[in-house]
A and B are shown apart, each in its own frame.
Chain A
Amino acid sequence: GENVEQHPSTLSVQEGDSAVIKCTYSDSASNYFPWYKQELGKRPQLIIDIRSNVGEKKDQRIAVTLNKTAKHFSLHITETQPEDSAVYFCAASKTPRNTGKLIFGQGTTLQVKP
């Protein structure tokens, strides 16, 4: 079945620096790649997503890139702030609409030091 690998497991950056988290997926039929942010003790929340017909998507300080040939996608956070500190999860899905089955990566704990 589908497998998603996420690296690194922990990442520490200085406030203002950039952070990059990478994921690889195994099933070439995957077509939807969301990123979730989970603050301590809270539920995961979607921060950005990308579909397989797009190579890059940006939303203010966050961006996601997708390389279908290599089967990997990355989350880029620029000008990091202390409130960006959280656990980030990538995921992949290949299901048709209204099903939504996601396979998640193992998570990356991002610490932004002021």
Chain B
Amino acid sequence: NAGVTQTPKFQVLKTGQSMTLQCAQDMNHNSMYWYRQDPGMGLRLIYYSASEGTTDKGEVPNGYNVSRLNKREFSLRLESAAPSQTSVYFCASPSGTSGGVSEQYFGPGTRLTVT
């Protein structure tokens, strides 16, 4: 049981290049999330998927697209990378209990640098 996995761990892009960050969870959770983490700004939600087949914008969606490929996988795509997208990206998936939302499990993160 690996929990939440992400690839790649590190990536350097040139401005204008594209790439896809991959995320998978083996916990059979319905929801999956993409956050970015920048110094002094906490974790900001980019996009989320409440269930297979649905996606919604979070706080900072501009410049990103997502695909919920199936229940396990949720990818984040940068079509034309910009230096402002230099950040650490975390995928996460919360467990849902009968009492409501519970623990959110994070992946190990992807450190992206755009030059």
Binding site for B on A (CB under 8 A): 1, 6, 9, 31-32, 34, 42-46, 49, 51, 89, 93, 95-107
Contacts and interface: CB of A to CB of B under 8 A. Distances in A.
Name the prevailing secondary structure of the A interface residues: loop
A45 B97 CA distance: 18
16 contacts: A6-B42, A32-B101, A42-B108, A43-B90, A43-B107, A43-B108, A89-B43, A93-B101, A97-B101, A99-B31, A99-B96, A99-B101, A100-B104, A101-B33, A104-B35, A107-B40
Contacts of B90: 43-44
Interface of B: 29-31, 33, 35, 40-45, 48, 50-51, 58-59, 90, 93-94, 96-104, 106-109
B106 A100 contact: no
Contact of B42 (A1, A34, A49, A89): A89
A79 B48 CA distance: 38
Given A43-B106, A43-B109, A44-B106, A102 B100 contact: no
A9 B100 contact: no
A34 B97 CA distance: 15
B104 A34 contact: yes
Most buried by B among A6, A9, A44: A44
Contacts of A89: 42-43
B60 to A, nearest CB: 12
Contact of A31 (B96, B100, B107, B108): B100
Nearest to A51: B100
Contacts of A32: 100-101
B10 to A, nearest CB: 12
Nearest to B106: A43
A49 B103 CA distance: 8
List 9 A-B pairs, minimum CB-CB distance, nearest first: A100-B94, A98-B96, A43-B106, A104-B42, A104-B43, A106-B42, A97-B96, A46-B103, A100-B101
